[in-house]
Amino acid sequence: MGLMKVFSGSEVLAIALQERLEQAGVETTKKDNIQSARLGGFGQTDLAVEVFIQETDFAKANPVIEEFRMSI
């Protein structure tokens, strides 16, 4: 199946969520739009860091994501 975006926000929060998901056994992928824009010479600050998981892992990841959202 495909990737599903589960978070978009600051890099600090993205890394925190990524760590929690990986501790729960869910593989993650991070896309850093801020760094990509900077390297491309655009330098926009309104872009965000995104965290993706496999759609098949959503049932396992959802409780972790909800707990994370309630804690921020």
Q: Write the pLDDT tens digit of every residue in 13-63.
A: 999 999 999 999 999 999 987 665 556 566 555 558 899 999 999 999 999
Question: With a threshold of 0.85, does the pTM exceed it?
Answer: no
Q: What is the pLDDT of residue 47?
A: 56
Contact 14, 52 (CB under 8 A): no
Q: Which residue from 30, 15, 33, 22 is spatially nearest to 64, judged by alpha carbons?
A: 22
Q: In what order do the strands lie in the sheet with 49-54?
A: 3-9, 49-54, 28-32
